[in-house]
Amino acid sequence: MILSVSNIHKSFNEIPVLRNVSFHIEDYDKAAIVGINGAGKTTLLRIIMGELSADEGLVTVSRDRTIGYLSQHEAVSGENTIYNELLSVKQDIIELEQRMRSVELQMKSASGDTLQQLMTAYTNLTHAFESANGYACRSELTGVLKGLGFTEDEFGRSVSTLSGGQKTRVALGKLLLLKPDLIILDEPTNHLDMSSITWLETYLLNYRGAVIIVSHDRYFLDRIANKVIEIDNTKATVFTGNYSAYAAKKEALRAAEYSAYMKQQQEIKHQEEVIEKLRSFNREKSIRRAESRVKMLDKIEVLEKPTQVRADMHLKLEPKYTSGNDVLQVENLSKSFGSLTLFENLNFELKKGEHVAVIGDNGTGKTTILKIINELVAPDTGEIRLGSNVAVGYYDQEHHVLHMDKTLFEEISDDYPTLTNTEIRNTLAAFLFTGEDVFKQVKSLSGGERGRVSLAKLMLSEANFLILDEPTNHLDILSKEILEDALNAYTGTVLYVSHDRYFINKTASRILDLNNKVLANYLGNYEYYLEKKDGRIAYDSGSGQGNAAIQAAASAPSDTKQDWKAQKEQQAAQRKKENALKKCEESIEKLEQRNTQIDLLMASPEVCTDVARLQELAKEKETNETALNELYEKWEQLSE
């Protein structure tokens, strides 16, 4: 075991963030920590690293084990070049190499015992250098830099000239080269393009240490994780397997919890009805039974209602008008910025109802294509034609469609003046902005919050052609799933740019890969794109799957027949019980009515003086009472 986290508690301003959080990390574990934004994932990492103290609990790192941590916004600084910044991690190896070179120089002019001593020292230095993998040090460093998206031309750039994202990549490279026993990464894919993310996946999969990852990239987690630690409602639950396995188990658990809750609620309601009925009989025996059931109900530990998945945020995209079949035609599109040519002579078209993803490395011009279509950037050459009755809705990753000085309420009301105050508030509430939140200025919002406002405006637009630039940026996993469902239900046309491979796989029916200034077309989702790109055939194992499907289909009728027969028998038995209960209640009602008539007759002047008639009625009532007691017991049994 490398790391043990035991009973961690943490609160801020008396509001619990983590309660009784416990898990452990073994050698070679690849663990993912997941949860909605604000669940406490980063807080937990900071407690593990000792940057933040826990209110209660203990974090234990095994003796002689090392931990490397890359926070979400960590970056390097200084005047070093990119190459030398990473090389500083290998300072011990560099010093060994310098000492080897120094001894080599001394050996050239030495003789006798001095030479012998130098040769022994050189042998020891060489052995230490080889043990530290010194000969592969520089090629390993180059591989890491290239894997993280730096070209050899950039190796000599000063760190001080880099963007924030590039500095974070350099910090990640340094951490990978340190090779600690446990690597902890907080959102490591945020500043990487697809090829760099794929490289990092392979690197971490083959890493000979343990890894903890906090990430919203579900495809990344699917490939890396063999353990998922979920932070939900301040508590931690550990699941074995990757993200997809966790999601399936989580849904099964939630369904089981909800089923148990509903079953208990039905039982409570049923018992309350039985109690009310027993009391209505107004007999000493039935009242005692009612009281006994009340005591039984009081002892029940009532289950909490499980939180409904995605119950808070509501997103429904629906076009107001139907477009023509030809939605977009792009011909001979080219764009350069100075000496940098992004793409040349691009040609593609979109038909009604298509959901098309544009993918490619950073800097290839994907966002530029969207901006050209939206007439925000002028092309160098080419023509853009929209089809008949096409209404465009645009989602911009920089949220230029938002006005920073407006409040959320003004942002909606100014663009949609026909909406009432209640409609505006309801729309914002659907995206988790309630109460006084609606009067916040857009500029005060986080990236994820601005994304939700942009989605709210997009929902109101009723456009039939959506153009989305990195729509999942800053969204947590739950919000991404909501957006996926909305887009999959959307009957209009969609063109979007995204690095989120899981999102692409779920929502795209076609992929345009922008590479080397040209577009390659793939008719399918991301998995299909990978198969075709790597030259694999989708149906390599199709015969086996086909045989299995045939066998399943062959056995299906008999299984279905058995299920149908059992269901019919169960329904017949249920109807029989319901009829018996109904007859029992009818019998009780008749006897009670007759007893009421008997009481009235016995009190009437013409009967109360007739002894024989009184005895006859008294005997009938006694018989009725005996029958009623039997019927009450039978009713109670049948009511269960």
Contact between residue 601 and residue 611 where contact means Cβ atoms under 8 Å apart? no
Measure the CA–CA gap between 633 and 273, rounded to whole angstroms: 16
DSSP H stretches of helix in 110-208: 112-131, 137-147, 164-178, 194-205
Confidence label for 621 from pLDDT (cuts 50, 70 and 90):
confident
Give the pair of three-digit tokens for residue 637: 């049994």
Position 366 scores a pLDDT of 93
- CA atoms within 13 A of residue 406's CA, in its CB half-sphere: 14
Percent with pLDDT over 90 in the chain: 42
List beta partners, residue 15: 12
Maximum C-alpha span of the chain: 148
**What does the alpha-carbon distance between residue 168 and residue 75 come to, in Å, rounded to a whole number?**
4
Indicate if the pLDDT at residue 67 is higher than 90: yes
Element (H, E) at 24: strand 15-25
Looking at per-residue pLDDT, the higher value among 205 and 568 belongs to: 205
Residue 561 confidence (pLDDT) above 80: no
- pLDDT top residue among 17 and 561: 17
Cα–Cα nearest to 247, from 214, 222, 264: 222
Instruction: Specify whether the CB–CB gap between 404 and 443 falls below 8 A.
Output: yes
- Domain spans of the chain, in order of start: 248-299, 326-533, 544-639
350-364 tens-digit pLDDT = 999 999 999 998 888
For 326-533, CATH number? 3.40.50.300
pTM score, whole prediction: 0.70
Structure tokens at 472: 């999942």
Per-residue confidence at 399, pLDDT binned at 50, 70, 90? low
Residue 17 has pLDDT above 90, yes or no: yes
User: In this predicted model, what pLDDT tens digit does every residue of 168-180 receive, in sequence order?
Assistant: 889 999 999 999 9
pLDDT exceeds cutoff 70 at 471? yes
What mean pLDDT value characterizes the chain?
Answer: 86
Query: In the chain, what percentage of residues exceed pLDDT 70?
Result: 94
Which of the pair, 75 or 464, is modelled with greater confidence?
464
